[in-house]
């Protein structure tokens, strides 16, 4: 995001809406975006209405009020002069918007947001079959974000376990080699709100994956959360539970369960 300094009146309304704390007041009394911190999520631009007042008029009014030690409190959801300006993003910076702006659809997957449906459509796709485990690692959070160099560290740390990186995932599509988890050099310094690595493996290998993630966590300059998924058994139990517990973890109660209401596009082989 950019701020047109010829328009900005330094009201500060855009500062608190930025999830990355990337906007601050510059020495000239106008606001400025820290381009390294900004993940191009466009939250500031979408949330603040452009009131469209001429900057000169707003400055004069603010100046007069300030002379009398008065202040006009503009509604908090406006940019009075429309100074926030979304730039034309070129690759690789455009990846920031692709991963951080929920209104942008990923070119490679056709899915908005983080660009993947994760396991939510497994009833239809059958990506995980009986005996399979899906592991998702989401790096970054609002306020923290994640650089692709950290995403790469995690992917490469997992590679000795010979994971199957999900092809229909935007992080996998940035890999130069899905066997090693290496990500294209030119994107490593790009920062996004969050990015998800998706792996398919076998249930019994879950403890090795969780151990590897524990080992790598101190080398990262961000936070991550881990999700584990598998296909429910006919009695409704989740087969990955015992493997997660074997690794020393308890399953969180905020799990998501597909109810099998979708029309499957696959047929599971029976032994």
Instruction: Give the closest residue to 190 by CA, choosing from 137, 138, 141, 145.
Output: 145
Least distance from C-beta 102 to ligand SF4, angstroms?
A: 11
Residue 93 or 182: the one with the smaller Cβ distance to ligand SF4 is 93
Least distance from C-beta 71 to ligand SF4, angstroms?
A: 14
CA–CA distance, 195 with 212 (Å, rounded to integer) = 18
Residue 44 or 199: the one with the smaller Cβ distance to ligand SF4 is 44
Residue 185 or 221: the one with the smaller Cβ distance to ligand SF4 is 221
Least distance from C-beta 184 to ligand SF4, angstroms?
A: 23
Residue 50 or 241: the one with the smaller Cβ distance to ligand SF4 is 50
Least distance from C-beta 96 to ligand SF4, angstroms?
A: 8
- If one counts every other C-beta atom within 10 angstroms of the C-beta of residue 265, the result is 10
* Spatial contact of 138 and 118, defined as CB atoms under 8 Å apart: no
Q: How far apart are the first and last CA of the chain?
A: 55
Residue 95 or 175: the one with the smaller Cβ distance to ligand SF4 is 95
Least distance from C-beta 54 to ligand SF4, angstroms?
A: 12
Least distance from C-beta 153 to ligand SF4, angstroms?
A: 23
Least distance from C-beta 206 to ligand SF4, angstroms?
A: 35
Residue 12 or 54: the one with the smaller Cβ distance to ligand SF4 is 12
Residues forming contacts to ligand SF4 in the complex (CB under 6 A) are: 1, 3, 8-14, 18, 20, 22-23, 31, 33, 38-44, 48, 79-81, 83-84
Residue 75 or 248: the one with the smaller Cβ distance to ligand SF4 is 75
Residue 97 or 210: the one with the smaller Cβ distance to ligand SF4 is 97
Which residue in this structure is represented by tokens 């900057």?
55
Least distance from C-beta 59 to ligand SF4, angstroms?
A: 10
Residue 235: exposure state from Cβ atoms within 10 A (0-12, 13-18, ≥19): exposed
Paired tokens of 97? 């918007």
């Amino acid at each position: 995001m950019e701020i047109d300094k010829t328009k900005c009146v330094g009201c500060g309304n855009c500062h608190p809406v930025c999830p990355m704390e990337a906007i601050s007041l510059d020495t000239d009394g106008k606001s400025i975006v820290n381009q390294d911190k900004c993940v191009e999520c466009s939250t500031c631009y979408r949330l603040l209405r452009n009131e469209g007042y001429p900057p000169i008029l707003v400055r004069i009014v603010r100046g007069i009020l300030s002379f009398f030690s008065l202040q006009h409190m503009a509604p908090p959801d406006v940019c009075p002069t429309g100074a926030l300006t979304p730039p034309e993003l070129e690759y690789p910076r455009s990846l920031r918007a692709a991963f951080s702006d929920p209104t942008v659809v990923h070119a490679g997957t056709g899915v908005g947001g983080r660009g993947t449906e994760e396991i939510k459509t497994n009833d239809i796709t059958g990506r995980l079959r009986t005996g399979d485990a899906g592991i998702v690692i989401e790096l970054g959070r609002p306020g923290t974000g994640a650089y692709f160099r950290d995403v790469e560290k995690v992917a490469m740390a997992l590679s000795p376990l010979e994971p199957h990186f999900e092809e229909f995932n935007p992080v996998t599509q940035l890999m130069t080699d899905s066997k090693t988890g290496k990500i294209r050099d030119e994107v490593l310094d790009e920062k996004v709100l969050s990015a998800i690595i998706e792996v398919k493996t076998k249930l019994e290998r879950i403890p090795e994956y969780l151990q590897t993630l524990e080992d790598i966590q101190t080398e990262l300059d961000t936070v991550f959360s881990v999700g584990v998924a598998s296909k429910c058994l006919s009695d409704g139990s989740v087969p990955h539970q015992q493997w997660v517990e074997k690794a020393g973890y308890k399953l969180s109660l905020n799990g998501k369960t597909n109810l099998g209401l979708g029309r499957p596009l696959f047929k599971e082989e029976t032994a």
